[in-house]
Amino acid sequence: PPNTTTVIRESVRAFVMTDHIQEHHKEDCKQQDYKQEYIDFLEARQRQLKIVKTTTSPCGQVLDWIRIESQGETRTPPPSPKRHQPDRERPEKLAVTELQLPGAERGPQGTVPLLRPSFKNADFKIPLKDFIVKRGPPLLDSAHKKSGLIPLDATIPPLPHWYVSSLETVDNYGCQGQFSCFAPSVDKTADFSLIQLGAICRDGAWRSDRPDGIDNRQTLEAGLQRYPSLYGDNNVHVFTYFTTVGYNPVEADNVGGYNRRHQGWHQYDKEVFPGCAFTPTSVNGGDQYKIWLVYQLWRGDWWFWCQDRWLGYYPGSLFVSNPSLSATAGASATAADHCDIVGFWGEVYDSADTPLAAEPTTTDMGSGEFAQKRWRHSAYIHNALYQASPSKEPDGVDNSDKDYNGESNVYVSDPARYSLEDHPTGGGNWGSYMWLGGPGYVPPP
């Protein structure tokens, strides 16, 4: 009988080599090399997991089910966060995941799902490290506001990312927001569109031997994303992301990455997981659906909440020491102890190889409507909060949530493509909120 390695290799090759890839009549050597990189990555990932069962979700996502204890010690989540009163003038419904729908196949009792990475929409034109890397929001500094953005990513070739973002510099132990659930139109399969939150420790990765000028941010991020190349479909997915060493092209086990593509994330819930698809989505001018996202630093770990449950956590120890950090730092200087920036932003990535002026992206952000269209038309984030004090022991009750205010650090890449309208006060039951979005490039009349 074939050994385990052979079975994994054949399974992965069948999973990656999809019909549309096989129909390409001839590929150059570079693409063949890149394709092999992707295959090797997925084979190595599958060998690490102790898979009990594999299922396919209704929209075609492949899920590997593992015993929860195979990830290490199972920890207890914090209490549920405080719920907010709905706004009767702006009624919303809750989106749900595929595994919460009747008839969805699940794994055995005691197992949790992990999303298997999909490359069926990948064209293998770029190396794997460029395909899976993420970029961070633009940071403004008081010493550089007149001259513009600090080139934190100066060591990375510039890529066409378009932002509407706001940041607040404040010590925090978590953040949260309630996000509209639109399905943005994406121009090309390798483009993406997202809206998200992030807790950022600006210099958490600093070590005495790291080069000057390198990006030292450590982050915990989550949001809603449409990214056909990453997920293999056109659905809206909830994503998580972390980095311990800045937005440098180092995505690796226990160092950084999306969802559970790499080791680092510990899955706790048996139905909802990073990368899962949500349904239904909001309708421009019609019903509005939302998703509630929370990060909370609890007993040294960063727990992540989605809708009505804690999904899992990133261990705080990842931010103190890992294979890509040259030395161990004191926890108090890293995201293991706290963050010092909170951010909410929208981002569109334009994958076109041609110059931007030659082929501008028409990928939507949010609904594709500008922020000024507002309720039932524009995307939004409401009840934007940050946790100002550590969670109290022994019960973890948190009474320190503060309204987010990022209006002094707003950045918009191009107001003709995307816009942001910030309302940090006076939102009633919505608290601190914002409208955001846009259609991308709009040709002149």
Residue-wise pLDDT for 22-75, tens only, equals 444 455 788 888 888 888 989 999 999 999 999 999 888 999 999 999 999 889
In angstroms, the Cα distances linking 274 to 304, 313, 393, 394 are 10, 11, 28, 28
What is the C-alpha separation between 25 and 2, in angstroms, rounded? 31
The pLDDT-based confidence of 329 (bands split at 50, 70, 90) is low
Task: Find out whether 385 and 432 touch, Cβ atoms under 8 Å.
Answer: yes
Neighbours of 440 (CB within 10 A): 24
Q: In this structure, are residues 224 and 235 in contact, taking their beta carbons and an 8 Å threshold?
A: no
Residue type, 159: L
CB of 258 within 8 A of CB of 230?
yes
In this structure, are residues 67 and 111 in contact, taking their beta carbons and an 8 Å threshold? yes
User: Which tens digit of pLDDT belongs to each residue from 139-192?
Assistant: 755 433 333 333 334 333 345 889 999 999 999 999 999 999 999 999 988 899
CB 346 within 8 A of CB 418: yes
Model confidence at 209, pLDDT cuts 50, 70, 90, reads low
Find the helix packing angle between 4-16 and 29-48, rounded to 10°.
130
**Could you tell me the pTM of the whole model?**
0.89
